[in-house]
Amino acid sequence: MLFFVASAALAADPSVSIRADGTVVGEVVVAATEAEIRSVISDQMLLSTWDPDTNVRTAPDGACTKVWYTIPHPLAQMEYTTRACPTDRGLTYTLTESDDVESLAASWEIMDAGEGRHTLRYSIRLVPTLPIPQWIISRQASQSVLPFLSQVQGHLER
């Protein structure tokens, strides 16, 4: 019981910021090993259960995972495909195909925070082909990232 209390006291709520270029960056400190974190961030189907606005399909692609995304929207549905590949610091997504997305930069980064904890940083910058201002895309993404990181944190610390 004492371990649980100490672990809970070390946990912090996720935070999200938007950089000047429109990149949304979310961070959360989790009481989990790097291996446990990698297991979660590599499981694209598990991650998709915490993002109700996105439909996901996956397939193995060598050491990576091919991920097809469909984001329904009343005005225009967005579809794109990425490769999610492990890196020495986490996981990186590379846009491979889309008529709806001009560019995508997304990644997970795992950083040692000491005392058995890690800082988990998720960043994303998506530029659609539709003429939508970047600040609107970034604001919408930031509103999704915060509860998403809370779900990841809860899963890792259960």
Task: For residue 135, give the CATH number of its domain.
Answer: 3.30.530.20
- Supply the pTM of this predicted model: 0.87
Helix, coil or strand: residue 18: strand
How many domains does the chain fold into?
A: 1
Q: Which two tokens stand for residue 10?
A: 């070390």
Looking at residue 132, what is its pLDDT?
Answer: 85
Domain membership of residue 123 as a residue range:
2-156
Percent of the residues in the chain that have a pLDDT greater than 70, as a whole number: 93
pLDDT tens-digit readout, 29-82:
999 999 999 999 999 999 998 887 789 999 999 999 999 999 887 777 889 999
> What's CA 30's distance to the chain center, in Å?
15
- 25 Cα distance to chain centroid: 9
pLDDT surpasses 50 at 6: no
Confidence (pLDDT) at 140: 87
Band of residue 11 on the pLDDT scale cut at 50, 70, 90 = low
